[in-house]
Structure 1
Amino acid sequence: MLIAHVLQDKGGAVHTLAAEATLQEAAELLHKRKVGALVVLDGGDVVIGVFSERDVVRELARGGAEALNAKVSSAMSRQVVTAGLQETVDEGLARMTDRRIRHLPVLESGKLIGIVSIGDLVKHRIAAAEAESAAMQAYIATH
């Protein structure tokens, strides 16, 4: 199964924000959109970072409530790991596990077209395993 199939099922909605936004604004957007991460754009459509719930917690632990006034650019992950549409779910899961990340922005020709979470990929991997199991059971039952 490909990342493209996951995006077909879940849709291509990506919640973004500017690097100049405050951590307070980012936390409010994470809560409002019910997502675990936001893709940070350069003011145009170029991905320059990912800001997650984990980043909020880390900054609050370091700086207390005052940290909420800091800019997202000071707390976001700058080394963005991305995926392409033709990559497999297993490749995405392996990359996420190796890099200890939970979200992969999906790019096509350098343009942001979606985002997948580790939960999205695990869900599709389980569905594929269940379908394979059902097919094997049906095959065995008829032979």
Structure 2
Amino acid sequence: MTVESILKHKGGDVFTVGPEDSLEATASLLHSRKIGAVIVKAADGGVVGVLSERDIVRGIAQGGATCLARPVKDFMTGKVVSCRLHDTVIEVMALMTDRRIRHLPVIEGGKLVGMISIGDVVKRRIDEALMEADELRRYIATG
């Protein structure tokens, strides 16, 4: 199973903000869309960062509520770790675990094509394991 199969099931919608957007507006977007992170894109469309709920909490813990008026660029993770469509579920699970991240932009040919979360990856892996178990049961039952 690959990242591409995850995106086929969940869709390729990606919510983005600009680096100058306020932290407050971005937190509101996360809340209203029930998502845990957004991609930060430059005016030219390039991915310049990821902003997660964790980044917002860290900002508030360090600077208080006044940080909500500041721009996303002050809080985003600028060193973006990404994956590609043909990466396997096992590869991205390892990457997310090693880097301690919960959201991965999917970039193919230099273009943002989706975003996956650890929840998406775990769900796909569970589906895969259930399918394998069903196949083994059928094989054993039919000989």
**Structure 2 unaligned regions, length at least 5:** none
One-letter amino acid matched to 1:44 = D
Distance (Å, rounded) in 2 between the aligned partners of 1:8 and 1:107 = 15
- CA shift for structure 1 position 33: 1.1
One-letter amino acid matched to 2:129 = A
One-letter amino acid matched to 2:5 = H
Q: Which residue of 1 aligns with 2:30?
A: 30
| 1:93-125 residue CA offsets vs partner (Å, 9 max, x unmatched) | 100000000000001100001000000010000
Distance (Å, rounded) in 2 between the aligned partners of 1:86 and 1:23 = 33
SS at match of 1:73: helix
TM (norm. structure 2) is: 0.98
Distance (Å, rounded) in 2 between the aligned partners of 1:90 and 1:19 = 32
**Structure 1 unaligned regions, length at least 5:** none
Distance (Å, rounded) in 2 between the aligned partners of 1:90 and 1:115 = 16
Distance (Å, rounded) in 1 between the aligned partners of 2:129 and 2:45 = 36
TM (norm. structure 1) is: 0.98
Give runs of ≥4 in structure 1 deviating > 3 Å.
none
Distance (Å, rounded) in 2 between the aligned partners of 1:139 and 1:109 = 41
| 1:32-64 residue CA offsets vs partner (Å, 9 max, x unmatched) | 111000000011210000000001111111111
Q: Which residue of 1 aligns with 2:105?
A: 105
Residues paired across the two proteins, number: 143
SS at match of 1:43: coil
Paired-residue identity, %? 50
One-letter amino acid matched to 2:133 = S
One-letter amino acid matched to 1:19 = P
Distance (Å, rounded) in 2 between the aligned partners of 1:123 and 1:45 = 30
Distance (Å, rounded) in 1 between the aligned partners of 2:88 and 2:58 = 31
Q: Which residue of 2 aligns with 1:3?
A: 3
Q: Which residue of 1 aligns with 2:93?
A: 93
| 1:52-83 residue CA offsets vs partner (Å, 9 max, x unmatched) | 00011111111111010111001000110001
SS at match of 1:84: coil
